Amino acid sequence: MPGRHFLQIPGPTNVPERILRAMDRPVPDHRGPELPGLVSEVTSGLTQIFQTASGEIVLFPGSGTGGWEASIVNTLNPHDRVLAFNVGQFSHQFAECAQRLDMVVDEIDLPWGTGVPAELVHERLSADRDHSYAAVLVVHNETSTGVTSNVGAVREAMDAAGHPALLLVDAVSSLGSIDFRFDEWKVDVAVAGTQKGLMLPPGMAVVCAGTRAVARSDEVRSRRYFFDWRPVLAEMRQGYFPYTPATLMLYGLREAIRMLGEEGLAGVFARHARLADGVRRAVRAWGLQILCRSPQEYSNTVTAVVVPDGVDADAVRRVAEQRLNLSLGAGLGRLKGRVFRIGHLGALNELEVLATLAGTEMALSMAGVQVPVGAGVTACERYFIEAQVTPAGRSPGYSQQSAVSSPSKVRTRQK
Ligand code: PLP
């Protein structure tokens, strides 16, 4: 099909030309002199994106799932008790990962479309008087439902309960798109991948380990080899790796960090908030339901749209793919066929969102779903025109900031 493919799934996201060009180079010697400078720029940029002064970056070839595994085997002993909340497919799989690695997981089933309730965290941890829970697992942005949990409130609940459990957070579809505050929320380990807000192809797990978690990795007995972060930390501090790193991805990552720095983290978060708001206005104009129940928990990176009863969401996706060259995200797990997901994260601007919405309303209509054609695009367009009038509503590329905003400068509202 001529023209470009619209990849509007919630990750992998579109890789900007600038990043592709940065990776289009001869493979360097990964034990040669080029590496330390590259690794140092990447790790210092990532710590700014995680908003941490104390956390250390660990990179593994792999994906977010590998990051989960690393977060667990480096901080927990087999048979440790773990508290987890099933609010979607990824939070369920994070819990499943811990279970398969021999943890005893209390997985609390909650309605999909809601976030992790801080009150429940408080209740469970307060009741755990002998502090048997070793960790709490939370997915910051549940990509399967389009819900962002309030990690800051979870941390406050843990502190209010006086519980020492570690806080392991999946930031796979939030990092670099939605405000994520590693230090302020006293996160012990955060896990991300390269293929979402960091705008790279899939291929690396990006882990941030806090001081408590790093210390714990020397004490725990969980079996690990590839995902043992101790040799990785030791080598990365010198600018190298104990394994063969994805060197070309590192050049891409450096470029991505520079791009995020030019826009400024606050600008990146504001852009994602604006684009997401435009998408939600379109969904409402179609008369369809957003799966996320509470506006406080709306995700700024992905919107799960509920299709009317009797409609197969996958049929809508198939039409979009085959007739319009537009990829939308599938409903996962128990949401299969019930929702489709619009990804609005990474390198994305207003016109791309409008084209996505145009394609989505066309596909809905072609698949026989009665929506007022043009209503979604119009609602979104009107909103973007209003938002564009204020400087905060400017598109990326206008800002001339040279470095990733320091954490103290980044103070957008936590959803
Ligand atoms: N966690 C979340 C929130 C995700 O969205 C995903 C994948 O989309 C994962 C974990 C799994 O990551 P990966 O597919 O990179 O292994």
Which domains are delineated in the chain?
6-12+265-398 (3.90.1150.10), 17-261 (3.40.640.10)
Dihedrals phi, psi of 384, to nearest 5 degrees: -65, -35
Mean pLDDT computed over 39-50:
98
* pLDDT score, position 352: 98
* pLDDT score, position 400: 31
Residue 405 has pLDDT above 70, yes or no: no
Atom of ligand 1 nearest to the CA of 63: 15
Mean confidence (pLDDT) of the chain: 94
113 Cβ below 6 A of ligand 1:
no
60 Cβ below 6 A of ligand 1:
no
* pLDDT score, position 388: 78
Percent of the chain with pLDDT over 70: 93
**Could you give the C-alpha distances from 131 to 152, 165, 305, in angstroms and in order?**
21, 8, 40
* pLDDT score, position 401: 37
Query: pLDDT tens-digit profile of 225-245?
Result: 999 999 999 999 999 999 999
Neighbouring residues of 25: CB distance < 8 A, sequence distance ≥ 6:
248, 251
- In angstroms, how far is the first alpha carbon of the chain from the final one? 39
Amino acid letter for position 118 = A
How far, in Å, is the centroid of ligand 1 from the Cα of 146? Answer: 13
* Token pair for 80: 């440790």
Helix (H) or strand (E) holding 383: helix 375-388
330 Cβ below 6 A of ligand 1:
no
Indicate which residue's Cα is closest to atom 13 of ligand 1: 64
Global pTM value: 0.94
CB atoms within 10 A of CB 20: 13
Dihedrals phi, psi of 376, to nearest 5 degrees: -65, -45
Please choose, from the candidates 174, 146, 144, 139, the residue with its C-alpha nearest in 3D space to the C-alpha of residue 330. Answer: 144
How far, in Å, is the centroid of ligand 1 from the Cα of 377? Answer: 29
Neighbouring residues of 409: CB distance < 8 A, sequence distance ≥ 6:
264, 265, 266
**pLDDT-based confidence at residue 406 (cuts at 50, 70, 90):** very low
Give the whole-angstrom CA distance, residue 282 versus residue 291: 14
Q: How far is CA 402 from the centre of its chain?
A: 24
Residue 323 has pLDDT above 90, yes or no: yes
**pLDDT-based confidence at residue 1 (cuts at 50, 70, 90):** confident
**pLDDT-based confidence at residue 411 (cuts at 50, 70, 90):** very low
**Residue from 68, 85, 90, 144 whose mutation best tests the ligand 1 pocket (most atoms within 8 A of CB):** 90
How far, in Å, is the centroid of ligand 1 from the Cα of 368? Answer: 32
**pLDDT-based confidence at residue 390 (cuts at 50, 70, 90):** low
Query: pLDDT tens-digit profile of 120-138?
Result: 999 999 999 999 999 999 9
404 Cβ below 6 A of ligand 1:
no
Please choose, from the candidates 106, 108, 115, the residue with its C-alpha nearest in 3D space to the C-alpha of residue 152. Answer: 115
Query: pLDDT tens-digit profile of 73-123?
Result: 999 999 999 999 999 999 999 999 999 999 999 999 999 999 999 999 999
Query: pLDDT tens-digit profile of 33-44?
Result: 999 999 999 999
**DSSP code at position 390:** S
* pLDDT score, position 389: 62
- Of 16-30, 205-219, 252-266, 377-391, give the lowest mean pLDDT range: 377-391
CB atoms within 10 A of CB 353: 23
Atom of ligand 1 nearest to the CA of 142: 3
Structural contact between residues 242 and 158, judged by C-beta atoms closer than 8 angstroms: no
Query: pLDDT tens-digit profile of 344-365?
Result: 999 999 999 999 999 999 999 9
Three-state DSSP state, 240: coil
Query: pLDDT tens-digit profile of 185-200?
Result: 999 999 999 999 999 9
Mean pLDDT computed over 399-406:
39
Residue 409 has pLDDT above 90, yes or no: no
Residue 288 has pLDDT above 80, yes or no: yes
Structural contact between residues 98 and 82, judged by C-beta atoms closer than 8 angstroms: yes
Q: How far is CA 195 from the centre of its chain?
A: 9
Mean pLDDT computed over 142-147:
99
216 is in an annotated binding site: no
**Residue from 9, 59, 63 whose mutation best tests the ligand 1 pocket (most atoms within 8 A of CB):** 63
